[in-house]
Structure 1
């Protein structure tokens, strides 16, 4: 059905409507406002550091139900599937090196080193901004690989509301709604959602499942006071709960029922004021609470039963000023971050860490000729210094520049240092996996990881409406990498204890090529992307695990107004990936765990499509098909199998 509708849209011989007199059929993306690259509002075309934007319209057109599904097909992005969540990899760097923000605020609750993307609903998002490469000069720890910033939407009208519901394969149901009102200087927005899905299994011949079933509840409320364009104050609060159920199979044959619950609560209070002819001041505070519970229940016995509960508190405060001074746009501020972990698996609970930071960036417009003519140059030196209660001081300088030699050509380059202090789990937590038979014990002697990164990119806008080409290259050196080390071979009867150590050096480097084409068929665009990645463990002289050297992305989007139809088809080809398996254990990235076997996981092709029918009175009907080539397996790519769902959306 999906392919027939898409084919009809693309091959129909019906006459095309005349162009609208009101303007272009698609808004100029370069005029979008972004904040992530500079921590202050800039037009996308003026951002010194390249920023990728996924808009609200694009989210709805693709049919993604959470952040992981939205980014699954995004160019230059890889997802990492683990039994404790789906993580994000940028430029070959694992999830622990990618900082995820909501409206510029950190999110608590990494499980291991992964912040599960399935926790993030798309219900109230206005856009997603992605900055790849070194961003530590403005954001500090954990931003060595890049930053993903989720921007929530604001109320724009006296009354607005929306609702969306879908149902499909695996008995997956997704219902979400929001309402908002803008009355004078006051804005209020409330929303909530519920999602459910059954477990799935790539190898039904055994008792274990490949992917967990889930139930997710979320809700939030936001209050804003904006008496004029210069002043705004807000209060936001949100809660979500995610329950998962799965079945694990122990190597000895024991069957364990796994139950996992993750709960997150956030409260944010802030204000911003723009002084006439002076600086803009921003002050905000954020409290985050994350609780994870994990139960492993052996069927028919209590021998391998295990329960754990971890409670993480996050305290964040920011004071920031932005000021235009002649040719200089200055952004500076101070930031305070506190983390507290309570767990029965700690030798001494709770543990607490405090980090203070000061940062400053100058975006300098350098005159290269007469005003309004010739090339344009922006130079943005930035510096941040973090003082950690456990690891001392860490400087993070960065230098970025943007050169527009002609209106059609833009060159960007940046270089910077980054760091990542060990997480509480790596330092202190003792984690046992009774399903496989091993114990991972924290190491309080760990030191921070360090990085040096360089990014260079070129954008070219040919004299053809709707066409854009870009090319970029990157190189990141990593040292003091934290790896899991052990001796001996793990087994369920005599678990081996694994430890964390700073033992590795590595690098990632590669190129990304992107092209966007407006096709002769009206309102039809083709996006193509290619990424080459060379990621290597220099300590063991071998490729880093799980990375594909080649990745190709393509997206075809079209809208046929006479039929009120919109269609999006997204596909990606991912080349073979190396994994290293220890004898009898199936453990990756383990030094001294016995002989290792290198496994080359075959390449795969992923395809998804959605067709939307825009009805009257704000109603839309859609059909979505995902993983249409059924790419996946039990061990290395345990993603949901081929599926289809349909639904309806209403917006007022």
Structure 2
């Protein structure tokens, strides 16, 4: 959300926009232990987020997708999902205490739809999800769809979709646990239990992340720590032949410290982040989903009905008590019916009913504390053709909103296999994003006033790509993309008061670029993932902030015979970028530069027994001093050691 500063510190203007990060794509499949290059002979991998019925094979998808497998999460010792997303082409991650944002292909953070076990997890108040609160469960996987997906999911997916899936009881049964500790007083733990039987499946997981942190102000000494707790579970039950029930739930609570910006015009640090004793935040979220699925005509016709809930509370505190608070909630019901006309043809109809609500619970009486809500009904039609060499897909969606004009979005794509190892693909689509509650009605005394007259942002874009298999041990993907955004919502500071307020731009924002990724098995024990992304993102000819033109990454993994040990080296380069700073007393933003930086991470793992591993890692091995957001110093070097057991 462009106005994070007002949520965390009653200060200034839009704070966290993003920092494009290094990239990596892969055609790897997950065999449960190690990465195996897809060679067109393995069983097809199913994408859960690329179609509304969740049955699309990855090799038939006509857009750009990256799947981060369980093995990859384990090999990189991922603890925060935000970290591993930095290895996906086109993904920008920018984090400060209390809010970590993601952007796809130069889009805004609230243009990315995040699904966790099928549940939409964005905060209705902010219009986006704090990806920094998503801890990695043991056995999880991630799908990242790049490009407009509003035709499938509605007004939240201009940039794409990130779908996080926890493991089922059957895919990872038994008990698994890990415990680690290290520098900055960090102690992390995770546990998971999965079980299954004749017609039923269940899993339960818990993750705790705790650290004293490091200073994040220039020349600061105050450590910015946090404690995060996650409890999640899901289950399914086959009630009768062709009829099944399912449920999923997740609870997340994060408590942490943050620093304010200095807005005393008499100080030389005006506009910079400074140590701010007594400032802290708590974020708490509850998510739940229940669903039923029925099959008819020997499985050719499926019906799926689901209901999901989200309840998110955010509080920030200053030296004198609670300073900012909000509550957001969502109720969503969906019906999806898919019919396979013939072996190669499938049509899908979906209907969504959604009510999002918001209350500004900030104390003091200067803001409206009543409930506001927006109701939306959406209808989706989707057609897919999957042939021997040619794949085609088309989707059309119409949204009826009680506050904004109705919106119709589309997506169309095609792929063609020139040979067994060469496939070309192209896709085009449109997207829409409605203003969020904070942009419409948010209020911070003397700092920010919402704008109820805002109109939705609209986007159109296209892409063309080539997927090439290089023998049995390597693959390369090249994609060019181009999109335009009309009516972009930005923060303006009109005189004479210079109080921040959002508005729609009258000019066009354009994002175009190239994504290149390589996945290779160099030798029996060595694998390499590498990527390079070029992004040209401009608003009316002016370069957009926190969007480097050049980002790159490489991950080199060594695995000992019989998987007795492994080590992974990850190098991520982030090019120079523009940013804005509020160092002028008028609060009119000043454009500054963020230096390029290169991060090096190294980890290793050794197997003690069939069920017991020890591991260690060092992040930011070279101690790079860098900023993802102006004057917010990012974490320096850290080291961890731990143990993991599976029974």
Q: After TM superposition, is the score higher than 0.5?
A: yes
Residues 567-626 of structure 1 show CA distances to partners (whole Å, capped at 9, x for unaligned) of: 1111111111012334425xxxxxx854x5432222110111211112213111111111
Contact 1:249 1:256 in 2 (8 A): no
Among 171, 194, 200, the alignment partner of 1:186 is 200
Contact 2:217 2:633 in 1 (8 A): no
Change (3 A) 1:598 1:277: closer
In the alignment, the residues of structure 2 paired with residue 582 and residue 563 of structure 1 have an alpha-carbon distance, to the nearest angstrom, of 52
Contact 1:488 1:593 in 2 (8 A): no
* Number of the residue aligned with 1:512: 515
Shift of 1:329: 1.2
* Number of the residue aligned with 1:425: 438
Q: 5+ residue gaps in structure 1?
A: 1-22, 367-371, 433-437, 490-494, 586-591
Change (3 A) 1:470 1:92: same
* Number of the residue aligned with 1:73: 87
Contact 1:551 1:575 in 2 (8 A): yes
* Number of the residue aligned with 1:216: 228
In the alignment, the residues of structure 1 paired with residue 35 and residue 448 of structure 2 have an alpha-carbon distance, to the nearest angstrom, of 55
* Number of the residue aligned with 1:576: 576
1:379 aligns with 2:392: yes
Among 45, 48, 69, the alignment partner of 1:32 is 45
In the alignment, the residues of structure 1 paired with residue 418 and residue 69 of structure 2 have an alpha-carbon distance, to the nearest angstrom, of 29
1:101 aligns with 2:115: yes
Contact 1:173 1:195 in 2 (8 A): yes
Contact 1:274 1:280 in 2 (8 A): yes
TM-score norm. by structure 2 comes to 0.87
DSSP 3-state at the match of 1:640:
coil
* Number of the residue aligned with 2:454: 446
* Number of the residue aligned with 2:28: none
* Number of the residue aligned with 1:484: 491
DSSP 3-state at the match of 1:398:
strand
DSSP 3-state at the match of 2:64:
coil
* Number of the residue aligned with 1:613: 606
In the alignment, the residues of structure 1 paired with residue 127 and residue 624 of structure 2 have an alpha-carbon distance, to the nearest angstrom, of 26
Change (3 A) 1:237 1:124: farther
* Number of the residue aligned with 2:557: 557
Q: After TM superposition, list the pairs within 5 Å mapping 1:342-491 onto structure 2.
A: 342-345=359-362, 346-347=367-368, 349-365=370-386, 376-431=389-444, 439-462=447-470, 464-488=471-495
In the alignment, the residues of structure 1 paired with residue 570 and residue 187 of structure 2 have an alpha-carbon distance, to the nearest angstrom, of 22
In the alignment, the residues of structure 2 paired with residue 99 and residue 315 of structure 1 have an alpha-carbon distance, to the nearest angstrom, of 16
Shift of 1:204: 6.7
* Number of the residue aligned with 1:535: 537
Residues 51-92 of structure 1 show CA distances to partners (whole Å, capped at 9, x for unaligned) of: 210011111111111111221333332112244311111111
**Mean CA deviation greater in 221-230 or 122-131:** 221-230
Change (3 A) 1:114 1:544: same
1:314 aligns with 2:330: yes
**Mean CA deviation greater in 100-109 or 391-400:** 100-109
Change (3 A) 1:228 1:416: same
Q: After TM superposition, list the pairs within 5 Å mapping 1:136-155 onto structure 2.
A: 136-155=150-169
DSSP 3-state at the match of 2:151:
helix
In the alignment, the residues of structure 2 paired with residue 236 and residue 79 of structure 1 have an alpha-carbon distance, to the nearest angstrom, of 27
Change (3 A) 1:159 1:441: same
Contact 2:409 2:430 in 1 (8 A): yes
In the alignment, the residues of structure 2 paired with residue 597 and residue 35 of structure 1 have an alpha-carbon distance, to the nearest angstrom, of 43
Residues 304-349 of structure 1 show CA distances to partners (whole Å, capped at 9, x for unaligned) of: x652221111101110011111231112210111111122354261
Higher RCO (C-alpha under 8 Å, 6+ residues apart): 2
In the alignment, the residues of structure 2 paired with residue 29 and residue 265 of structure 1 have an alpha-carbon distance, to the nearest angstrom, of 41
Q: Which one has a bigger Cα radius of gyration?
A: 1
Among 314, 322, 329, the alignment partner of 1:292 is 314
Contact 1:312 1:341 in 2 (8 A): yes
Change (3 A) 1:29 1:50: farther
Shift of 1:397: 1.1
Contact 1:207 1:249 in 2 (8 A): no
Q: 5+ residue gaps in structure 2?
A: 1-32, 268-273
In the alignment, the residues of structure 1 paired with residue 216 and residue 316 of structure 2 have an alpha-carbon distance, to the nearest angstrom, of 23
In the alignment, the residues of structure 2 paired with residue 272 and residue 449 of structure 1 have an alpha-carbon distance, to the nearest angstrom, of 35
Shift of 1:222: 2.5
In the alignment, the residues of structure 2 paired with residue 29 and residue 132 of structure 1 have an alpha-carbon distance, to the nearest angstrom, of 23
* Number of the residue aligned with 1:7: none
1:333 aligns with 2:347: no
In the alignment, the residues of structure 2 paired with residue 82 and residue 514 of structure 1 have an alpha-carbon distance, to the nearest angstrom, of 28
Change (3 A) 1:33 1:83: same
1:244 aligns with 2:256: yes
Change (3 A) 1:229 1:458: farther
Number of aligned positions between the proteins: 593
1:269 aligns with 2:290: yes
**Mean CA deviation greater in 510-519 or 562-571:** 562-571
DSSP 3-state at the match of 2:375:
strand
Contact 2:226 2:254 in 1 (8 A): yes
* Number of the residue aligned with 2:30: none
TM-score norm. by structure 1 comes to 0.86
In the alignment, the residues of structure 1 paired with residue 582 and residue 36 of structure 2 have an alpha-carbon distance, to the nearest angstrom, of 52
Tell me the C-alpha RMSD between the 2 structures: 2.4
Shift of 1:33: 1.8
DSSP 3-state at the match of 2:288:
strand
In the alignment, the residues of structure 2 paired with residue 553 and residue 431 of structure 1 have an alpha-carbon distance, to the nearest angstrom, of 40
Residues 246-284 of structure 1 show CA distances to partners (whole Å, capped at 9, x for unaligned) of: 343534369452110001111211111222153111111
DSSP 3-state at the match of 1:75:
coil
Shift of 1:195: 1.3
Contact 1:248 1:257 in 2 (8 A): no
DSSP 3-state at the match of 1:51:
strand
Contact 1:85 1:114 in 2 (8 A): no
In the alignment, the residues of structure 2 paired with residue 239 and residue 102 of structure 1 have an alpha-carbon distance, to the nearest angstrom, of 12
Shift of 1:215: 0.6
DSSP 3-state at the match of 2:245:
strand
In the alignment, the residues of structure 1 paired with residue 428 and residue 381 of structure 2 have an alpha-carbon distance, to the nearest angstrom, of 16
